[in-house]
Structure 1
C-alpha cells in the first residue's frame, strides 16, 4: 500500500491515511463545519471519485514525461502545491527544483496545479488540445491565469435567466437530445462539443465542497 513518500507512478493502493494526508496537503485541514451545503455530514465526505482522478493523473504524467517523473513522490508534488497556494510564480518554483531536469520540473508543476485545482495548465501561450487548458506563464502567480480565464471580460446587460428545478441533466438529454460528457476538468464545464451534440459537465461535487472552507 502506498505511503505519502512513495512514487506517484506506483501501482500501490493509496491507503485511507495517505488519502487524508494528500487532501490536507492540497486544501488544508478538514473543515470544522458539521455539514456541507448538500446536507452531507463533513466526516462522511467521500473523495473516492477525486482519488480516481488523482491516481490516473499521476500515472499519465509519469508516462507522458518519458519516465522523467518516475521518482517524484506524492509528498514532493504536495510541496509544489504549497508553493502554488503561496502565490509563487512558475519561475520561482522552477528555481526551487533546479536539481531536477527541466522536463521533470515543468511536468511536476503542471501536475501539482492539476491536482490542486482540477484544471489543466500549460506554460505555452498557444496549445492545441481536445480539452481546455489555461496558459500560465513564467512570471506570474497561478491565480492570475485563473482570474483571466474565469472572470468575465465585460459586464453584460439583459434579463437574468432563472432556470427551473426541472432543468436537470436527465431532461437535457431527454428533451434537447444533448448528450452529457462527464469531465474532470473544471475549465470544460458547460462546454459544448461535437457540433453542439454533447455538453461537458464537471461532476466532482465533493471537490467543490472542499473549496468552500
Structure 2
C-alpha cells in the first residue's frame, strides 16, 4: 500500500510514530522498545500521562497474537490485504478509534491505493480493516481466507467499530440468576478437576466464557489480562465492561489460591498464556455476587449451572468433588469397605490354599 496521505476532514490524523513502524508487516517486532512503541501507537496512548510504559506488565502473549494475526493476513503472497507496513495498520487503527464509519475508512483506503487497481481491491481493503480491528480490540472480526477458525462469524461492515462493540456486548440478559451463587470452589482449576470441563484458552474476547461443545464439556476463557488492563481508558468498549471482564478472571483464577496459581503457571509455560491473569485484584464476598456481573452474567449462569449439575465420572473427580460432603464420605467409606472386603477375602483364600497344601504335603 502506498504511503497514506493526510485523511479527509472527517477522518482522524494518524499519530506521529517512530520510523520502525514503517517496516514491512512481515518484519515482526522483537525488542522491548519496539513492542512498547507499537502498543502506544496502536492504542493511541501517545506521549502523555496515559502512555504505556510496561510497568510490571509482560505483553509477550499479546505479541504472539499480533504475529499470528499478521501471518494469517499475509498468507498467499499478501493477496488479501492492502496494508504493507505496521504504520499502515496503526493509521487504520487511528481512524477506528476516532469512531469513523466502516464505509468512510474503506473510501479513505481506496483513495490511497496506487494504480493500476487490482481486481480484488475491495477484498484487500476489507482484509486490512479486519486486521487493524483485530489487533486493536482482540475480537475475531471478518473472515479468515485460509482456514476455518471454529468461532462465531462476526462481521463489522457499517457504523463505527465502537458502536458495533457496544451493541454486541450490551445485548439484553435473558437468564434467571436468582439461585446462582459463585462460591470459592467455582474456579478454572476445579472446572476440570470436578466437572470434567476442558478449558480452551482463547485470543478472541467475544468467545470469553462461551461453552464450545454440544455436551458442554469445553469452555473458552480469554486470558489476556495485560490487554484488558491497558484498555481501561479505551472508549471502544462499554463503560464498566473491561473492569467486569477482569473480575471474571479474578473469579476463575483467584490470586489467593496457591494451587490455582501453580496450575496456571504450569499451563502458561506450554501455551504462552498471560501470567497477569492470576494477578487480578482479589474479590470480596460481595464482589462474587452474580448481580455484579452485567455483560457476562448469562454466560456465567450457564457455566455455573453446568458445573453444579456435573456428576463425577472418574475416581479422580470423586476425590476432588467435595461439594456434597455427605455424598463424598459415603462414597469413599463404601470404597474402603469394598477394598477391605476384597483384601480379607484374598487373605482367606490364600490361608485356605495354604491349609490344603499343608494337609496334602505333610
TM-score, structure 1 as length reference: 0.82
Does the Cα contact within 8 Å between 1:87 and 1:141 map onto a contact in 2? yes
User: 1:141-184: CA deviations, max 9, x gaps?
Assistant: 11222122111325666527341233211100000001000000
Q: 1-side partners of 2:44 and 2:97: how far apart?
A: 10
Whether 1:107 and 2:123 are equivalent positions in the alignment is: no
Residue 95 (structure 1) aligned with residue 114 (structure 2): no
Residue 25 of structure 1 deviates from its aligned partner by 1.4
Does structure 1 conserve the Cα–Cα contact (< 8 Å) formed by 2:73 and 2:80? no
CA contact (8 A) 2:62 2:224 kept: yes
Deviations 1:174-200 (A, max 9, x none): 000010000000011111112211100
Match of 2:204 among 161, 185, 197: 185
* 1:19 matched to 2:35: yes
- Closer/same/farther in 2, CA of residues 162 and 110 from structure 1, 3 Å limit: same
CA contact (8 A) 2:208 2:220 kept: yes
Is contact 2:208-2:222 (8 Å) kept? yes
Distance change in 2, residues 1:167/1:31 (3 Å): farther
Please name the residue that 2:294 is paired with. Answer: none
| Structure 2 residue aligned with 1:130 | 150
Output the CA distance in 1 between the equivalents of 2:87 and 2:106: 17
Query: In structure 2, what is the Cα distance between the partners aligned to 1:158 and 1:170?
Result: 23
More helix by share: 2
Q: Distance in 1 between matches of 2:95 and 2:48?
A: 21
Deviations for 1:43-67, whole angstroms, at most 9, x for unmatched residues? 1211110001001101111116753
The 5-angstrom pairing of residues 169-184 of structure 1 reads 169-184=188-203
| 1:133-148 correspondence to structure 2 within 5 Å | 133-138=153-158, 140-148=159-167
Which structure would you say has the larger RCO, counting Cα contacts within 8 Å and 6 or more residues apart? 1
Does residue 69 (structure 1) correspond to residue 88 (structure 2)? The answer is: no
Aligned-pair CA distance for 1:137: 2.0
Structure 1 residue matching 2:139: 3-state secondary structure: coil
User: After TM superposition, where is structure 1 displaced by more than 6 Å over at least 4 residues in a row?
Assistant: none
Bigger shift: 22-31 or 114-123?
Answer: 22-31
Please list every run of 5 or more consecutive structure 2 residues that lacks an aligned counterpart in the other structure: 1-18, 114-120, 234-362
Q: How many residues align?
A: 199
Q: Match of 2:319?
A: none
In 1, the alpha carbon distance for the partners of 2:192 and 2:142 equals: 33
Counterpart Cα distance in 1 of 2:176 and 2:213: 30
Secondary structure, counterpart of 1:49 in structure 2: helix
- State whether residues 61 and 111 of structure 1, in contact with CA within 8 Å, keep that contact through their aligned partners in structure 2: yes
Report if the CA contact (8 A) 2:82-2:125 is conserved.
no
Q: RMSD in angstroms over aligned alpha carbons?
A: 2.7
Structure 1 unaligned spans of 5+? 34-40
Flag the structure with higher strand content: 1
Partner Cα distance (1:46, 1:105) in 2: 32
TM-score by length of 2: 0.50
The answer to whether the 8 Å contact 1:8/1:70 transfers is: no
Q: 2:65 aligns with which of 27, 34, 53?
A: 53
